[in-house]
Structure 1
């Protein structure tokens, strides 16, 4: 019987210690960063997909684009509104979002992700 109580006490202490960081940081998340749009992005007023979709799913869209371009040879993307875009990170996305530090890096740093896009694509293809 004494061992049973020691086991429960040990488990309780373990659970408290393991979950302490979660309880300590509860409700203290930093707000999402403000993104700075270029003049061209502001003038366009629309992206290839709605802002909410791009915020949550841009990497999946870029993966589909990469697959379609590299394996299928497709270069054209037609969005839900029927507008035609070139499937190109460098020439479509970075045409409007040319300031990588003020646009891409802010969210990627906030989310602690390290995308591998820049292994192949330069971050400012037009030299702006």
Structure 2
């Protein structure tokens, strides 16, 4: 331990630099988004908690069913039949991509690839 006078300050400096991004941003989180919900009183295909966390899993499942099995109708847990389609299903109620989809996707920093195949809805401003 001939260089203990250099090692301990080096370790402290390393830990400080390594953890700087974490402690420098404490308490500075952006407020959670508030997406615009449909004005009509329609019921979504699944409950809100599921859709907030698992909507991409559901959309990927729908994509596989439509593309691979040519099945375009999904039987929801409530027993109703829904169209497995972003444009003819989801976007019928959630009419504004900018006010609904983009709110959360921008907050989460994700870029979904939905609109590489699907037509992006025109916004009515």
TM-score by structure 1 length?
0.87
Deviations 1:43-75 (A, max 9, x none): 21x211001100111011101110111112111
- Structure 1, unmatched stretches of 5+, are none
How far is the alpha carbon of 1:36 from its aligned partner? 1.1
1:57 aligns with 2:48: no
Q: Say what the alpha-carbon RMSD is for the aligned residues.
A: 1.8
Question: Which is worse superposed, 30-39 or 59-68?
Answer: 30-39
Runs of 4+ in 1 over 6 A off after TM superposition: none
Rounded Cα–Cα distance in structure 2 between residues aligned with 1:92 and 1:64? 15
How far is the alpha carbon of 1:11 from its aligned partner? 2.4
- Give matches, 1:8-47, under 5 Å: 8-39=8-39, 42-44=40-42, 46-47=43-44
- Structure 2, unmatched stretches of 5+, are none
Deviations 1:69-96 (A, max 9, x none): 1112111111111111011111100111
- Give matches, 1:1-128, under 5 Å: 1-39=1-39, 42-44=40-42, 46-124=43-121
How far is the alpha carbon of 1:15 from its aligned partner? 1.6
8 Å Cα contact 1:94/1:123 also seen in 2: no
Deviations 1:78-121 (A, max 9, x none): 11111110111111001111100000011111111111101111
Rounded Cα–Cα distance in structure 2 between residues aligned with 1:123 and 1:54? 20
Query: Size of the alignment, in residue pairs?
Result: 124
Rounded Cα–Cα distance in structure 2 between residues aligned with 1:65 and 1:109? 24
